[in-house]
Every structure is written in C-alpha cells, then in structure tokens.
Amino acid sequence: DEMFAALATLAAVLQLAAAVGFDQSAAAVGQLLCNGRPASGVLVKMYDDDTGPDLDDFMGEGRTDGNGRFSLRGTTDEALTIDPKINIYHDCNDRLTPCQRRITIFVPNSYVSSGKNPTKTYNAGTIELAGQFSGEERDC
C-alpha cells in the first residue's frame, strides 16, 4: 500500500508540473538561398516539437527579407525543456508542383532560455534550398 501511495503522489506531482510548466524561449537567425541567390519572402516558423498526442506548440513566424535572411524568436510554456525547431516552407526548384517543400531544422537544447526573452541566438547559417533534404516533406 505504501508503494501505491508513493506512485499516486508521484503521478499527482508530475501532473501538476505538466499543468504548471514555465516560460521558455528560443531565437534563431539564418539566410536562405535558392540556386545561389537570396530566397526572399520565404515563410519560416518556429515550433516546440512535441511527441505523442501533444501537438507541436507554435512559437513564432516570419518571412525572409530581400537578402534571404530570417530572424525568429518565440516563447512557450512547458514543464520539460522545449525542443525548438524551424520549419522552412519554400518552392525553390519546385516549378509547378502543388504544395510547398518543407524542411525542418532542430535548434540545439543549449540555445533554449528560461523566461520569455531568449538570451542566446542559434545561427542556422546559410542554407541552399535547391538541394534535397533528408526528411523533407510537402506542406499543403
């Protein structure tokens, strides 16, 4: 009976921690190219990648500027350390194929900050969208 009570208490504490959570944030910058030229106006979104029945938490979005550069920052409330990812939605070398190509870049956990204001920014570098990416999907 003591074991059952201890497990019930632990389950209640974990449930409370999941319900409470705490603010966490992330920021990322980078540049997108298509065939060596800046990819301007490309939609870039940041999510907290969640597994299981929990849907990914939207953290922020933006579009690349005339030089193909993006800058994103976002925040979400989560009990465990968030797993930020950047989704890039583009049509580079896609001709008339319906839907957009979507690639995902995961932000390392060392760039996750406590609170609503990121203290570090992940630099994703310059990404050439013309190539094929492992795990690439179509987003309609």
In this structure, what are the phi and psi dihedrals at residue 35, rounded to the nearest 5 degrees? Answer: 55, 40
Where would I find the H helices in 21-131? none
- E strands present in 1-68: 22-34, 37-38, 43-48, 57-63
For 47-89, write each residue's pLDDT tens digit.
Answer: 999 876 668 889 999 999 999 999 999 999 888 889 999 999 9
For 15-47, write each residue's pLDDT tens digit.
Answer: 655 556 789 999 999 999 999 999 999 999 999
Q: What is the pTM of this model?
A: 0.80
